[in-house]
Structure 1
Amino acid sequence: MAVITAEDISKRYIIDHKRGKGSSSIKDALGEQIRKIFNGKKSPHQEAEHIEHEDFWALRDVNFSVEQGDRIGIVGHNGAGKSTLLKVLSKITEPTTGRIHIRGRIASLLEVGTGFHPELTGRENIFLNGAILGMTREEIRKQFDAIVDFGGIEKFLDTPVKRYSSGMYVRLGFAIAAHLDPEILIIDEVLAVGDAEFQKKSLGKMRDVSASGRTILFVSHNMTAVQALCNRTLYFERGRLIEQGETNQVVASYLSKISKTKLIREWNTPEEAPGNDLVRVKKIEILPEYVDNQIFIDVRTPFRVRFEYWNLMDKANLNLSLHMNSMTGECIFNVGTQSQSYSKGLISGECLVPGHFLNDGTYNVSMMIVKDTVTPLYNMEEGLIFDVADYRDGVAWYGKWPGYVRPQLKFHTEMMEENILND
């Protein structure tokens, strides 16, 4: 049974632009207000200003349906229309065109502090939110202790929520939304504000909610969390629903489309290539060894870094030095080839980076050509920039894995002696 049906949903906003000869500085704006107070006249350049209106479609012709018990992921760039869709579904804003059919009570957690009255305490806001959801005071009381325990705000329960941190806001907001028995639970990226332990608890709670037959819509940039939680996913781009279907397929498509970099840079002749009178770069390339029909690099993917360059010297002892760098500039590792004697010509080098080594993130490969193991001839500081996507299997935690590397090393525990604490 469909609990949500969206038919040709569009949402338009009007953006105003001031046009004219005058400056739009704070000084001019203040001067204009003073003129209005004393003589009611506009300045000459203010007379020339006019307002232009621009239509901005945050959503355009969106159609989908959600079955009872579905766990729907919603992915896309910032500004793709995800949050606007949730506001339309939550009836915070009306669509410009189209219709939404909803069966069941909705609880939403869209922004930090949404649905809270800042002057009321945590306790009072729990009852306020329950009342907004149409629950009786007795129904709220039955869930009250579980809400306080899950949110971890018992110490601040009688403190006005305006004094809460953003993390406390989110913990309480999620606890209320998840425990007050909504048929449909809508969660935005706001969960990213919480710490790793809270994320783990929240994802577990959403699984429990779904197991009881209730429906979840979950917006997140954390693709691993979406894959772990959601059975179906909607992919939005510039307000349009680009793709919908089974989560792993849609996420793979989304990740392949958002890749901003080519995995090769190449020059055809030494004259146009970077370098100097001694050496010139012909090519730097990343060659992924995809498995299971992958179309993007993730933490499991081995890849080779291949480098080709022209040696313009008659004879020289040369070696390559490869640097893998983070986007903030830290060198994660440096590996070099053996020094060998080369005559003039085209030289290549290749390094295999194993799977399950780099963490997810964005990296920069740089390469240095070295003479006699000590003298750098040319340093290609920005060779290639590439992304490594996350992947987890059999792990219940989906916060950011710390560090730049994520190796799979042999690491085990064992029982040494039982019941020693009971003696």
Structure 2
Amino acid sequence: MSKPIIEVAGVSKHYVLEHESRHDNLRDTLQHSARKLWRKVRWGTDFEKEEFWALRDVSFDINQGEVVGIIGRNGAGKSTLLKVLSRITEPTKGRIALRGRVASLLEVGTGFHPELSGRENIFLNGSILGMSRVEIRRKFDEIVAFAEVERFLDTPVKRYSSGMYVRLAFSVAAHLDPEILIVDEVLAVGDAQFQKKCLGKMQDVSRNEGRTVLFVSHNMGVVANLCSRAILLESGRVKDVGPVSQVVTAYVQSGAERLGETKWAADDATAGNSKMRLHEARIVSEGVVASDVRIDREVTVEYDFSVLGQSANATTSIHLFDKQGVWVLCSGPAKSEVLQPGRYRHSVTFPANFLNDGLYTLSIILITDVSNIQVLKTEAISFCVNETGIGREEYGGVMNGCVRPLLLWNAAAVSDLPKV
């Protein structure tokens, strides 16, 4: 039996964080002088030291041709694990065996030299992967066509937009024949059509070319459709490994604390950039903020955001997922608007007797110029639709499906129906 293409055994990654102590009065300053002196002697610095384990005793095997999702909440250790697997950083403890060439797409800016053109970076990346110039030339036209950057091929990549950068970086990683392809949430940058194209390419290289794909995403519907297995990380440890449906369900249910309202700090980098920023979001039912709503009541989602810097052709959308990560729906205003700098509120209402009972999470996206995603806030808020018995009558079993509308039914004996 062949060995796994990736073996991870007892891997841990340790960091030492430095914090500068600040005190506002003389008493506190004197009180901590002795501690600062001890730190100076012990560590060679006045800063406080904090130990942080990004990964703790992580172990798993992945076979050739598998597409494996790595999931977990922010800070769970997903990106650190991918950096360790990509040899960007060394583990503090443990052993990793990679039996094949690795191509990684972890974040915008990784792997490309900003002063070189797109053309030059294609050849540079191919050389890093151990490919000859002849091999790279054979794939060159495919790479450029997939990335859709023909006009800018001889422009330094430092002048590329984030979407152009990711398109070329993904195309290089996917086409230059690596045995192992590692992709982080970076595909959230750029337009939705190209994201779909990338997901199709990952399926293709796995099914038809036998390559192994490690994929990190907060979109559980994509993970469930793309991957056969999943690894759930929590606080740097492996909480679950197994079939994707099993692990996704465990992940969503582990976050079952329902957030009927969420507010983001002004300096939260995940909630905004220089163009748009998400401030707060809430679930409203029967006129009040709620994390639990009745199935027979309307549910309103509302959120506040800002347009920053200058006016923009802007819009927003919401994406709703059920407790198993199934993508129930997405919705947004029919048309974008030119919005002046300022704060705005969008809201949308689900009718009563529409959603099935159960837990739902909701992602919010802020967009400019139709398809440029500025902010993607996954799991922004969550809520639970509670059963009331509406529409059940005598049936007490599970009502399957994401939606459960009260539809108009007619029942009649055939003999009573008019002849056609």
- TMscore range, shorter length: 0.5 to 0.7
Contact 1:299 1:360 in 2 (8 A): no
Change (3 A) 1:297 1:90: closer
The structure 2 residue matched to 1:259, chosen from 251, 256, 260, is 256
Tell me, yes or no, if structure 1 residue 82 matches structure 2 residue 78.
yes
* Partner deviation per Cα, 1:211-261 (whole Å, 9 max, x = no partner): 111100000011111111100000011111110100011001101111221
Following superposition, the deviation at residue 298 of structure 1 comes to 5.8
Contact 1:153 1:172 in 2 (8 A): yes
Question: Match of 1:235, as an amino acid?
Answer: L
Q: For residues 384 and 149 of structure 2, what CA distance do their matches in structure 1 show?
A: 38
Tell me, yes or no, if structure 1 residue 198 matches structure 2 residue 194.
yes
Change (3 A) 1:406 1:202: farther
Question: Match of 1:87, as an amino acid?
Answer: K
> TM-score w.r.t. structure 2 length?
0.62
Question: Match of 1:51, as an amino acid?
Answer: F
Q: For residues 262 and 299 of structure 1, what CA distance do their matches in structure 2 show?
A: 19
State the match for 2:128 in structure 1: 132
Aligned positions of 1:2-401 closer than 5 A: 2-19=4-21, 21=23, 50-211=46-207, 212-261=209-258, 286=293, 330-332=347-349, 352-355=353-356, 361=362, 386=383
Task: Provide runs of 4+ in structure 1 moved above 6 Å.
Answer: 46-49, 405-408
Q: For residues 174 and 123 of structure 1, what CA distance do their matches in structure 2 show?
A: 14
Contact 2:259 2:291 in 1 (8 A): no
Question: Match of 1:69, as an amino acid?
Answer: G
State the match for 2:368 in structure 1: none
Q: For residues 151 and 123 of structure 1, what CA distance do their matches in structure 2 show?
A: 12
Question: Match of 2:176, as an amino acid?
Answer: L
Change (3 A) 1:362 1:93: closer
Q: For residues 107 and 72 of structure 1, what CA distance do their matches in structure 2 show?
A: 15
* Partner deviation per Cα, 1:260-309 (whole Å, 9 max, x = no partner): 2189xxxxxxxxxxxxxxxxx9x9954679xxxx96696669xxxxxxxx
Following superposition, the deviation at residue 352 of structure 1 comes to 2.8
Contact 1:299 1:355 in 2 (8 A): no
Question: Match of 1:145, as an amino acid?
Answer: D
% identical aligned pairs: 55
Following superposition, the deviation at residue 353 of structure 1 comes to 2.9
State the match for 1:320 in structure 2: none
Following superposition, the deviation at residue 17 of structure 1 comes to 1.4
Contact 1:170 1:190 in 2 (8 A): yes
* Partner deviation per Cα, 1:144-179 (whole Å, 9 max, x = no partner): 000000000000000000000000000000000000
Secondary structure at the counterpart of residue 155 of structure 2: coil
Q: For residues 325 and 118 of structure 2, what CA distance do their matches in structure 1 show?
A: 45
Question: Match of 2:219, as an amino acid?
Answer: N
Following superposition, the deviation at residue 362 of structure 1 comes to 6.7
Q: For residues 404 and 144 of structure 2, what CA distance do their matches in structure 1 show?
A: 39
Change (3 A) 1:154 1:256: same
Following superposition, the deviation at residue 329 of structure 1 comes to 5.8
Secondary structure at the counterpart of residue 14 of structure 1: strand
State the match for 2:374 in structure 1: none
Secondary structure at the counterpart of residue 120 of structure 1: coil
Unpaired segments ≥5 residues, structure 2: 26-35, 261-287, 297-321, 330-343, 365-380, 386-401, 406-420
Q: For residues 127 and 226 of structure 2, what CA distance do their matches in structure 1 show?
A: 29
Q: For residues 297 and 133 of structure 1, what CA distance do their matches in structure 2 show?
A: 35
Change (3 A) 1:131 1:79: same
Q: For residues 154 and 295 of structure 1, what CA distance do their matches in structure 2 show?
A: 42
Secondary structure at the counterpart of residue 59 of structure 1: strand
Question: Match of 2:189, as an amino acid?
Answer: V
Change (3 A) 1:262 1:89: closer
Following superposition, the deviation at residue 194 of structure 1 comes to 2.2
State the match for 1:396 in structure 2: none
Secondary structure at the counterpart of residue 19 of structure 1: coil
| CA-based RMSD | 3.7
Change (3 A) 1:284 1:67: closer
Unpaired segments ≥5 residues, structure 1: 24-45, 264-280, 302-326, 335-350, 364-383, 389-404, 409-423
Following superposition, the deviation at residue 354 of structure 1 comes to 4.1
Secondary structure at the counterpart of residue 209 of structure 1: helix
Higher-Rg structure is 1
Question: Match of 1:147, as an amino acid?
Answer: I
> TM-score w.r.t. structure 1 length?
0.61
Q: For residues 328 and 164 of structure 2, what CA distance do their matches in structure 1 show?
A: 35
Q: For residues 382 and 8 of structure 2, what CA distance do their matches in structure 1 show?
A: 40
